[in-house]
Structure 1
Amino acid sequence: MIRKTIKVSDNTFRKFDDPLGNETPRKYIFYAKTCDVPEGIPMSTNPRDQKLNSTVANAITESLLSNDGQFHLKNRGIILSAKRVRYDNRLQDVTIDFEDESCHGNIDGGHTYKILLENKDKVLEQYVQFEVMTGVEAMIADLAEARNTSIAVDAKSMAELREKFDPIKEGLEGLPFFNRISFKQNQITKDTDTKKALKMIDARDIVSIICMFNIDKYNSAEHPTKAYSGKQAMLNEYLDDPEHYRKFVNVIPDLFDLYDAIETEFAVAYNENGRMYGRKSYSGYKEGSPVGKSKFCMSDIYYKIPDGLLYPILAAFRVLLEYDITSGKYKWMDGKDPIAVWNKHKVGLTRSVMDLAGSLGDKPTVFGKDPSLWNYAYMVLSSMEGISLV
């Protein structure tokens, strides 16, 4: 349990019972001097991480440092969920207990809170309003969504708060890039050694890749083209039934190993056909110098592979998946290890896909949306592996 005590500004503490006569919830409102705001209030209940160099954050900082005595009027304040609140009228301080960090902590005002902590050492005559609610554990996600209206909270942040990503996290945890997945808005992870911010991966990219392999929805006639054209649409598809994606737990690591293999080997495989991928305008090729890092394994890459090429090939490998009735999970067909299949066919597969892409105008933004490319990659791989689509 985390306990915080805050000095209350004279005669400002107010307790409000529920107007419907319920014993809970209750609400407590008070003002506190900004320098008296304590560190260590739990933040897991806030649907997004705080970006302190944003326009909104800069405006909050400017208002605070103006020292005009009006910060408590101009600012929306800090809203907390707590297990219990006790006010000492003699000492004029309030003690707040946070028992469960999954539902007790900062609901709204995270930017305000962190900016106040950054400026605690400054001598300011400024106050901030606290609103603390108890007995709201069952509705914490709804409260957070409703209260966070000053900056729109994106769908993935609310999904994370509602634990909707848990079905796929079981398969993702332990993968080397897990700590770089941005499940929340503005989420940043820093390197433990250099303390520099790492390059984050949008959770919608993760969901899009997994959803492409949903063999209950996508087959030889229906292809997941919206994984390229609309990642939010794929997130919405996932959120329609998150529990369905527990079927992927056993194969999720393989999906991202396969993505890495295609991203890092595509151009070399294509060049083995006697072609020159580096001549493509979208390749980013720089005379043998690295042009970036691969998305997941962070290896040096010497050619850029646009999603419009990578996704149709990656999605084609769902033809190797089947449902295991015994485990209730997806698995690869016997003898169909995806990396081995990629290594076996990558030269011919890249040639076939690139030839069709060229006939479609050789523009990733065009052929990435074209169902014919997705269908062709799927058919070619099926034929190469002798898998009947009847």
Structure 2
Amino acid sequence: MIEKFPVKSIRTTKSPSTEGVTTYTMLVDFNDLPNDISLEVNPRKPKMNTAVAKKLIHAVTGTEEDFDIKNRGIVIIANNLIFNNGQVTLDLGDDRTRFGILDGGHTYTAITQNRGDMPEDMHKYVKLEILVGENLDATGLADARNTSVQVSDIALFELDDKFNDVKDVLKKESYADDVAYKDNDNKSIPVADLLRLMYAMNIEKFASETTAPVSAYSSKAAVFRDYKKEIDKGDDNVYAKLIPLLPELVRIFEFIQRDMKKYYAEFKKANGQSSSAFGKVRGVEGAGNYHTAFSKMDIEYQISNGFIFPIFGAFRALLKENNDGTIEFEFSPEKVWNKVGVNLVQNTFETDTNPQMAGKNKTLWQGNYRIVEGAKKDLLIEKLMNQNGL
């Protein structure tokens, strides 16, 4: 989608930390702001009936003209931007989940829905901050820009003791004291990271290869909302059944972190390619002194979650629900990893070498699931043959 509109002023800043990323800061007249910029990048949809939203609407329709000074403005991720003769041509691409309004959705909605009620002949301006660059991580930016709201939600949830079961099951783990359950906890593991692991294993919501828990990677806010909705149902919910598995889920996540380089080298070697370039892959840092996400085990490479989660989520194919309602792994996840780890890593890196795209690629998640499901079927056949003495 292409949007063209005039701007009052514009400033360009190239990022010194991320090559190829440029930030364009500009002031735009309310009446020139386009109507159809996507809000799907933002993990929170605007709720315009709150007290804060009503104040925003009043600021839009009122007589004060200093909106651009008092309001933080709107942050947008775009595919490209061209400025010429006082007019911006904004390329928002075709992917509404990647390009659009990252932050400031309430401001945008308040302006576009209520600017017609401004006093006649009055001009008000809003600040736009538009980020352009192929190395932008929309998911990471969305979480970072919306952290205050998200963490406060989790902290309020903690007041209701809704994380007590999580605390109990982790109390003997080495990282138990490193989990932050409140927004003022200065600890290294946000509880949201544990919720993401369970979301990726939600066999009720994602029962087969036809669906994929992509939000485990792409939206912490969506994960938290789903967890809260289920926990509020009482004891009979899928997360109550998955919480006892959390230590095992952590181990799965970390053996993927630990072994990915080894399996990357194996598949490259099998294809007659160099196996020594893992550290040069986009989204991989190393070789160096790094640690796994939870237990802080020493590892040689730091690997983007965009590569890890599509592999991690595939192991839900091994889960089964028993007659008593408990959930367990039918076969050892590590045994399956040792069996098909090369296939999973190869499928992941041959599908996409951009970790942000890989993490959100439903086809990749589905392909990895099928690989684990195939290994499960082989183990079931082997088990039946052993039982029958064959």
Pick the TM interval, shorter chain: 0.5 to 0.7
Query: Does 2:209 correspond to 1:211?
Result: no
RMSD, matched Cα = 1.9
Deviation at 1:387, TM superposition (A): 6.8
The 5-angstrom pairing of residues 370-389 of structure 1 reads 370-386=361-377
Query: Does 2:236 correspond to 1:236?
Result: no
Where do 4+ consecutive residues of structure 1 move more than 4 Å?
Answer: none
| 8 Å contact from structure 1 (residues 170, 249) kept in 2 | no
Normalized per residue, the structure richer in helix is 2
Match of 1:368 among 359, 369, 372: 359
CA deviations over 1:41-67 (Å, ceiling 9, x no partner): xxxxxxxxxxxxxxxxxxxxxxxxxxx
The 5-angstrom pairing of residues 138-157 of structure 1 reads 154-157=152-155
Deviation at 1:302, TM superposition (A): 1.5
Deviation at 1:299, TM superposition (A): 1.9
Aligned residues: 218
Q: d(CA) in 2 for partners of 1:173 and 1:216?
A: 27
Q: d(CA) in 1 for partners of 2:282 and 2:337?
A: 25
The residue number in structure 2 matching 1:227 is: 216
Q: d(CA) in 1 for partners of 2:321 and 2:164?
A: 21
Query: Does 2:242 correspond to 1:254?
Result: no
Q: CA 1:351–1:282 in structure 2 vs 1: closer, same or farther (change >3 Å)?
A: same
Q: d(CA) in 1 for partners of 2:294 and 2:183?
A: 20
Match of 2:160 among 150, 157, 162: 162
The residue number in structure 2 matching 1:58 is: none
Deviation at 1:341, TM superposition (A): 1.2
Q: d(CA) in 1 for partners of 2:200 and 2:185?
A: 25
The residue number in structure 1 matching 2:326 is: 329
| 8 Å contact from structure 1 (residues 204, 231) kept in 2 | yes
Matched position secondary structure for 2:321: strand
Deviation at 1:296, TM superposition (A): 1.1
The residue number in structure 1 matching 2:342 is: 347
The 5-angstrom pairing of residues 97-108 of structure 1 reads none
Q: d(CA) in 2 for partners of 1:337 and 1:365?
A: 29
| 8 Å contact from structure 1 (residues 181, 203) kept in 2 | yes
Sequence identity, in percent?
Answer: 26
Letter in 1 for 2:278: Y
Q: d(CA) in 1 for partners of 2:370 and 2:339?
A: 16
TM-score for both structures, normalised by structure 2: 0.53
Matched position secondary structure for 1:331: strand
Letter in 1 for 2:215: K
The residue number in structure 2 matching 1:280 is: 281
Match of 2:263 among 249, 269, 293: 269
Unaligned residue ranges in structure 2 (runs of 5+): 1-147, 270-274, 380-390
| 8 Å contact from structure 1 (residues 246, 329) kept in 2 | no
The 5-angstrom pairing of residues 168-187 of structure 1 reads 168-187=166-185
| 8 Å contact from structure 2 (residues 314, 365) kept in 1 | yes
Deviation at 1:201, TM superposition (A): 0.6
| 8 Å contact from structure 1 (residues 171, 248) kept in 2 | no
Matched position secondary structure for 1:241: helix
Deviation at 1:236, TM superposition (A): 0.7
Q: d(CA) in 1 for partners of 2:378 and 2:185?
A: 42
Deviation at 1:325, TM superposition (A): 1.5
| 8 Å contact from structure 2 (residues 194, 246) kept in 1 | no
Letter in 2 for 1:342: W
Deviation at 1:278, TM superposition (A): 2.1
> Max radius of gyration: which structure?
1
Q: d(CA) in 1 for partners of 2:243 and 2:283?
A: 34
Q: d(CA) in 2 for partners of 1:201 and 1:218?
A: 25
The residue number in structure 2 matching 1:300 is: 298
| 8 Å contact from structure 1 (residues 172, 253) kept in 2 | yes
Q: d(CA) in 1 for partners of 2:173 and 2:226?
A: 24
The residue number in structure 2 matching 1:131 is: none
The residue number in structure 2 matching 1:310 is: 308
Letter in 2 for 1:266: M
Deviation at 1:170, TM superposition (A): 3.3
| 8 Å contact from structure 2 (residues 348, 358) kept in 1 | no
Deviation at 1:279, TM superposition (A): 2.6
Deviation at 1:238, TM superposition (A): 0.1
CA deviations over 1:138-159 (Å, ceiling 9, x no partner): xxxxxxxxxxxxx867111011
Deviation at 1:237, TM superposition (A): 0.4
